[in-house]
Structure 1
Amino acid sequence: MACEDVVFGEGPDDLLLQELDILELTTEDESHLMLKEWPVDAILEEIDFTLSEFWVQVHNLPLAYMTKANAEKIAATFPGLVELDFDSEEPVRWNGVLRMKVKVNVEDPLKTGFYLQRKYKPSSWVSFKYERLPDFCFHCGRLGHVNKDCKFRDDGRKKGSYGHWMKANQLKKASVFKGAPSKNPNFHKRKEGEEEAARSIHVEGASAKL
């Protein structure tokens, strides 16, 4: 559910906006509350409520791929990157997940993950989990309604693609190991072969192959 209520005031309170951003607002009935700043040169109908921000966790990614460069490549499959949970140039994380704050189109099905093509091993599934994810439809993967109210039942979408497993517990900034960056030539290489690596990612959900 996208809330388009507007609060009027004399001007923005930066501290309040920061506090609201930290809260990642979800209402008591598990609806998602979207708050947008009103540009001074825009009318109400021009304010865009299609994009909202979520912290997304990337699970089942092999350790060698957990670099900042790879996180940016994965984040590029979303409409926009807001923040990466990294604190140095090329750290490798200890806790087994990458974490990024991205913009999500609330009118599209949620992205569930992608298949990672590995050079010497079979392809593996890498899943996305969303922090503070409100109730959503397990059939079509969209926010704003649940299964019984779904109008997209005939879209040919595979059953079982969406479920409660896409909800993640909120994490604090994770510890990182500031060691050498990954040397994996099939994914991390940023010059030669960069496009080949990008084409090896297939994103399930609203978008297709990169």
Structure 2
Amino acid sequence: MAVVATQMAVDMEAIQEATDLEAAAADHDLAMGDENVEEAEVGEGGESLVPETAILDLDFDADEEVQVIQRCVIEKYYSMRRVKAATLLLEFKRIWQTCADMKFKDLEDNMYVITFDAEGDYQHVVHGGPWQLRGEVLIVAPVDGTVPLMEIPVDAMPIWIHIDKVPPMLQNDQIGRALGSFLGRVLEVDAMANGQVGAYLRVRVEISLRQPLQDEVAIRIKGKLTTYKVQYERLPNLCFHCGLVGHGKTECLKEQQGAKSRGLDARLRCSPVRKADRRDGVIRADSAARRKLMLPFGAALSSNRSHASSRRMSQEQQSADEIVGEVELSNKVNELSVHDEGVHDDECTESPPPNHKGADK
């Protein structure tokens, strides 16, 4: 048995040595192949034999060489359903309320290129929104012709948000932009002018559809942390489980995988603010009040006292005039009554008309 074991050990060493020699030979051949390739890429004079990429030089100042792209957008319909392009185009015309014609090109995955004949329609579609179709979000991005169509980002949506119960002293443009930056790219802050405040701070942001929606933000003032609820105007269909726009809870892959819910609900939505619904304005002061504001404090106080005194005298004079008027009216009524009684007595004392029958007799 010892001899057999020794023979097996010798055989295993021989097999391992042969394997190492084969690996070394393969590495040598691979290295020689790389050297041959390098030698093949370089000619005898040292010049490269690999063909260079062809380059076309363009001068964009030459209008005849460049196609001008105008009033063109790329659109993506975030829906799990595939809809025919002709059907979608009619729906687009309805929700956009366009006045002129528009042309479309079907790309892929519910994406389309649309060209408008009217500048007004183009501006309305690009700067309006957020657009929705059958409850699903409709993203529109302008096309300038310098970027490939499939590389134009169509994964962000402009939307107005309400940051609820922000203290009046923090309702300004600077705080609105700082808080809005936590949610997306800030486009506009609806901060009230002239020191006016409201129940919430309204900010327009561009939110990413690849990130879940946030339902609150926080401010720390002198070590005290306060959170504020966030609501969204015209919010399309979204998943309350994961917080993403573009699918519902029943279609959520994270829920199917057992991921923890973010606990969102319908309180994430709020009614849009329309200009006709605003209840703010300015009540103008009269000219007399404006003149008093221009006087020093003592003069204004004296003016107020003299104005109050003159007003009191005017009221007393008016009361006296009313009393005199009532007395005069009462006297006139008495005179008329006495006159009527005298006329009545005269009529009663007149002699009766002659009896013609007695006269004839």
What corresponds to 1:107 in structure 2? 210
Aligned partners of 2:129 and 2:158 also within 8 Å? no
2:135 pairs, out of 24, 27, 30, with: 30
Which protein has the larger Cα radius of gyration, Structure 1 or Structure 2?
Answer: 2
Matched, 1:2 2:78: yes
Quickly say closer, same or farther: Cα 1:175–1:94, change in 2 above 3 A: farther
What corresponds to 2:234 in structure 1? 132
Aligned partners of 1:94 and 1:177 also within 8 Å? no
What corresponds to 2:250 in structure 1? 148
1:121-146 per-position Cα deviation (integer Å, ceiling 9, x unaligned):
x5332011111101110110001111
Structure with greater contact order relative to length (CA < 8 Å, sep ≥ 6) = 1
**Code of the aligned partner of 1:5:** M
Instruction: Indicate the percent of aligned positions where both proteins have the same amino acid.
Output: 18
Please provide the CA RMSD for this pair: 2.8
- Alpha-carbon distance in structure 1 between the residues aligned to 2:260 and 2:179: 23
What corresponds to 2:318 in structure 1? none
Quickly say closer, same or farther: Cα 1:18–1:175, change in 2 above 3 A: farther
- Alpha-carbon distance in structure 1 between the residues aligned to 2:119 and 2:246: 29
Aligned ranges for residues 1-210 of structure 1 at < 5 Å? 2=78, 4-9=110-115, 13-20=118-125, 21-27=127-133, 29-86=134-191, 88=193, 92-119=195-222, 123-153=225-255, 157-160=260-263, 162-173=264-275
Q: CA deviation at 1:18?
A: 3.3
Q: CA deviation at 1:105?
A: 0.3
Aligned partners of 1:93 and 1:175 also within 8 Å? no
Q: Matched residue of 1:18: which SS?
A: helix
TM-score (norm 1): 0.70
**Count of matched residue positions in the alignment of Structure 1 and Structure 2:** 172
Q: CA deviation at 1:24?
A: 2.6
The structure with the greater share of residues assigned to helix is 2
Aligned partners of 1:54 and 1:103 also within 8 Å? yes
TM-score (norm 2): 0.43
